[in-house]
Structure 1
């Protein structure tokens, strides 16, 4: 009987241990579940916070800015050439050489032209002597005619010889001027202060008349040659006011519209010349591609925002943008009234403060209250 009770007691003890072990494992499972639930709570990190472009309401958003490319050049440019043919004898400059007005840049072999000039001088002296002789003969014939010592026919012949000799003298004098001009045309001089931008000759090279041998840039201001679309050209021609800037390597230069073509060059765009203010060779080179920005200030009651800043709900035709709270780093919806749709954005009613910040792109991919950070911000 005692042995039976002993066995029963042992069984009870074993069962109790099994129950305790079971309860311990259940407790572990519950703790694991609770830990798993706590991990489901989103924890934002730098990697999970979306980076978006942020614009400020008062940072020029109420102005229309259109940008086009252009190429810089000097206001004064020239292609220099010899006025006669010949062999290059002297070259005194190269690309980048700065010269003053009247400086000699290059010359041809002058000997042929100097010989031609000497020959022209000889022809003048010969023609002058002949003219003097014929003049004396004609004056003698006139005096003899008064005493009827010569016939009218002889007087007319003397007069003809005198007229011909005068014409021959004038022709010889003209040839002297042409020979002198040829000598001057065999030398290239700087037309004004400037710099050599291109040299296309070498010594002893045979040059043909009017071959371009130098390209020359003046020392005056800069011009940017570009084109603008027909709609912008129309606004400019109507006298609309634009703030124009030229940008090169993150440097901005104030500029003004100098000339606008009256005829489209390719059926779509009009040629335009922009004068750059306060620029020189040290800050803006010649012949580089630059960005021209045309900015037009609009009514401050309207705000121009990019397409990517506006979300339009198709269900109720309402629209909103996301304002950025820099304190909580969250984006919050703000309903807007669209006034006009443009090619690159919307005109909306401006009910915001100048210091307000908004998400300028990617608004369709974020949600109310989502944490965001300004694009380009390092953390």
Structure 2
């Protein structure tokens, strides 16, 4: 064969071989389904804080004198009545003090009788002009001094007598022993807290407000309380007490919430949740799962209703709620955002919008 025909033939064979090796192009992947929602009105969003049911009054109980504890008569959680003994101190020292005071009273009474008799004798001698007026005045002043001394000793005896009674710690009111902070045999000082008593009567909820939420609350602000034992049932309440200083360890602000209704089936120690409105300035809210962030900047994936493609949209948010987060800026009520799986999405990606039941959604229509 002629060489001039071999070159074109070789080129043609090589082209056919390369064409046979090329793989056919795969068809483009269909748009992935993504659950989308529209922002909710602010009225549906609220902040919630965990709390604990406590007594309205919780006095701390302590001995009025120091000593060694010899008996503990109640345990934590036990219900007590007014004036019921709770603990006792070793009474030996206070009894000795009482005996000493009693002896001093007897001595002062005898001294007063002697001073009285001395004054009366000088009075008779003065009437007979057998002693001078100054001698009588000295005897009279001795009587007055003995009388004042007796009053002083009797007051000290009353104090010692009261201290003897202080050796027994008694409940000031009906209630439940909430805590104990001592053991038998321990030497305690006067005023050292031994028990805390949850007084019968009003109940309220103790909560702790974080620093970022503190400024939105005030005393008397209406809120709602839901008891853990009664889900779905909310009771009207208000903030009764709000600490102006943060706790040194938790950096939260303690607050007390009082019920507005008279009878609430709330028991001591029950868990509760306090709900508060997020405020009028918070126009919209989205699910927590719709929110993502990069370098500390929060954003959501907003869906273009015409092309069903994604656009990263920065937002400014408020305080997190239990299931929702308020969006202060960046979204409108007519927008659609992806509510799940946001960590695997990318800018410009096309999706197939579905609702929570995996049903297709027409983005042009409002949900």
How high is the TM-score relative to the length of structure 2? 0.63
Q: Which one of the candidate residues 325, 341, 344 is aligned to 2:316? A: 341
| C-alpha separation in 1, matches of 2:304 and 2:227 | 31
- Paired residue total: 304
- Which structure has the greater CA radius of gyration? 1
Q: Taking structure 1 as reference, are residues 370 and 97 closer, same or farther at Cα in structure 2, changes over 3 Å only?
A: same
| Residues 127, 172 of structure 1: 8 Å contact kept | yes
The equivalent residue for 2:206 is 224
Q: Which one of the candidate residues 134, 137, 157 is aligned to 2:115? A: 134
The equivalent residue for 2:266 is 280
Q: Taking structure 1 as reference, are residues 187 and 94 closer, same or farther at Cα in structure 2, changes over 3 Å only?
A: same
1:261 counterpart = 2:243? yes
Q: Which one of the candidate residues 165, 187, 190 is aligned to 1:207? A: 187
| C-alpha separation in 1, matches of 2:87 and 2:291 | 64
| Residues 39, 333 of structure 2: 8 Å contact kept | no
| C-alpha separation in 2, matches of 1:270 and 1:87 | 37
| Residues 77, 216 of structure 1: 8 Å contact kept | yes
Correspondences of 1:165-184 after superposition (within 5 Å): 165-184=146-165
| C-alpha separation in 2, matches of 1:202 and 1:265 | 28
Q: Which one of the candidate residues 89, 94, 100 is aligned to 1:108? A: 89
Q: Taking structure 1 as reference, are residues 141 and 120 closer, same or farther at Cα in structure 2, changes over 3 Å only?
A: same
- 1:107: Cα distance to partner? 1.6
| C-alpha separation in 2, matches of 1:297 and 1:209 | 50
Q: Which one of the candidate residues 132, 135, 140 is aligned to 1:159? A: 140
Q: Taking structure 1 as reference, are residues 371 and 137 closer, same or farther at Cα in structure 2, changes over 3 Å only?
A: same
- 1:259: Cα distance to partner? 1.7
| C-alpha separation in 2, matches of 1:272 and 1:80 | 22
| Residues 223, 239 of structure 2: 8 Å contact kept | no
The equivalent residue for 2:126 is 145
> Once the two structures are superposed, what CA deviation does each residue of 1:53-91 show, in whole Å capped at 9, x if it has no partner?
86894xx65355234455654332233232334443433
Correspondences of 1:288-303 after superposition (within 5 Å): 291-296=273-278, 298=280, 302-303=283-284
Structure 1 alignment gaps of length 5 or more:
1-36, 312-318, 324-331
| C-alpha separation in 1, matches of 2:304 and 2:220 | 33
Correspondences of 1:81-120 after superposition (within 5 Å): 81-120=62-101
| C-alpha separation in 2, matches of 1:261 and 1:279 | 26
- 1:158: Cα distance to partner? 0.7
Q: Taking structure 1 as reference, are residues 79 and 117 closer, same or farther at Cα in structure 2, changes over 3 Å only?
A: same
How high is the TM-score relative to the length of structure 1? 0.62
The equivalent residue for 1:30 is none
- 1:227: Cα distance to partner? 2.8
The equivalent residue for 2:12 is none
Q: Taking structure 1 as reference, are residues 307 and 101 closer, same or farther at Cα in structure 2, changes over 3 Å only?
A: closer
The equivalent residue for 1:11 is none
1:190 counterpart = 2:171? yes
Kindly indicate which of the two structures has a greater share of residues assigned to helix: 1
- 1:134: Cα distance to partner? 1.1
1:236 is paired with a residue whose SS is: coil
> Once the two structures are superposed, what CA deviation does each residue of 1:114-158 show, in whole Å capped at 9, x if it has no partner?
343244223223312321331232244345435533213312321
> Once the two structures are superposed, what CA deviation does each residue of 1:175-213 show, in whole Å capped at 9, x if it has no partner?
21122111121001012111123334444x152323433
| C-alpha separation in 2, matches of 1:228 and 1:145 | 85
